[in-house]
């Protein structure tokens, strides 16, 4: 009788011990994290700002974009072959810019906020940086805005040098570049726009 009870008791003890223990499988199947996401210990993804979904594959749209700097890189050097300024002497354009929203309402005037570059040349690799002070925050981030370059003549007179359309947030760009290039359809006016995305 004793010999029979010992194996039975031992078997019953092992059965209860294994059935009462946590028998769940803590392992998980890792997924590939996209767009710079970092895998977490629970096989999920810690997504960088601007991306969501289990694998960080979904690109979000920022609630606003703040423009901090615009670098003027290329513009027409002459007014259809003529000097931009003829008085007091023949000279290049005195450039500044404005920004208009999709309704053609001016939302930034660089002449008032920043000033202008005197006798700016559209030739060569000269870059004219404008640091927006104060920066311009735009909430209609996917709307086409106008960036208009002017030749400053007097307080009451300026003439358009060139213009282009741009979107504060261009969803076709890869990721969220802090600086991106915009130009007009004829490729005669080109700028680099530096931005901060707000979520």
pLDDT tens profile 138-171 = 999 999 999 999 999 886 789 999 999 999 999 9
Q: Same structural domain for residues 39 and 77?
A: no
Q: What is the CATH number of the domain that holds 113?
A: 2.60.40.150
Q: Same structural domain for residues 56 and 70?
A: no
Q: Which residue has the higher pLDDT, 78 or 16?
A: 78
Residue among 49, 97, 70 at smallest CA distance from 168: 70
Is residue 133 in a domain?
yes
The whole-angstrom distance between residue 160's C-alpha and the CA centroid of its chain comes to: 27
Q: What is the CATH number of the domain that holds 52?
A: 2.10.25.10
Is residue 15 in a domain?
no
Residue among 96, 195, 70 at smallest CA distance from 137: 195
Instruction: Tell me what the mean pLDDT of segment 87-103 comes to.
Output: 92
Strand pairing report for 45-46 and 38-39: antiparallel
Element (H, E) at 159: strand 157-166
Q: Same structural domain for residues 158 and 133?
A: yes
| Cα(162)–Cα(189) distance, integer angstroms | 7
Q: Which domain holds residue 151?
A: 64-198
Judge whether residue 17 has pLDDT over 80.
no
Is residue 100 in a domain?
yes
Q: Same structural domain for residues 56 and 81?
A: no
pLDDT the model gives residue 157: 83
Q: Same structural domain for residues 75 and 149?
A: yes
Q: What are phi and psi of 128, to 5 degrees?
A: -110, 100
Q: Same structural domain for residues 69 and 164?
A: yes
Q: Tell me the per-residue pLDDT of 63-75, one tens digit each, with 9 for 90 and over.
A: 999 999 999 999 9
Work out how many domains the chain is built from and give that number: 2
Judge whether residue 29 has pLDDT over 90.
no
């Amino acid at each position: 009788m004793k010999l029979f009870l010992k194996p039975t008791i031992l078997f019953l003890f092992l059965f209860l011990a294994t059935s009462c223990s946590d028998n769940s499988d803590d392992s998980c199947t890792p997924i590939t994290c996209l767009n710079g996401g970092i895998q977490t210990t629970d096989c999920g993804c810690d997504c960088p700002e601007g991306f969501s979904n289990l694998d960080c594959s979904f690109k979000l749209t920022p609630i606003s974009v703040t423009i901090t700097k615009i670098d003027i890189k290329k513009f027409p050097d002459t007014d259809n072959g003529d000097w931009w300024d003829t008085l007091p002497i023949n000279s290049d354009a005195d450039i500044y810019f404005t920004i208009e929203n999709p309704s053609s309402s001016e939302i930034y005037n660089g002449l008032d906020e920043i000033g202008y570059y005197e006798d700016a040349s559209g030739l060569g690799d000269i870059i004219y940086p404008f640091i927006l002070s104060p920066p311009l925050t735009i909430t209609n981030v996917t709307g086409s805005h106008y960036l208009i370059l002017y030749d400053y003549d007097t307080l009451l007179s300026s003439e358009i040098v060139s213009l282009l359309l741009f979107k504060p947030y261009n969803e076709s760009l890869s990721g969220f570049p802090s600086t991106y290039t915009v130009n007009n359809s004829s490729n005669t006016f080109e700028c680099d726009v530096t931005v901060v995305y707000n979520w």
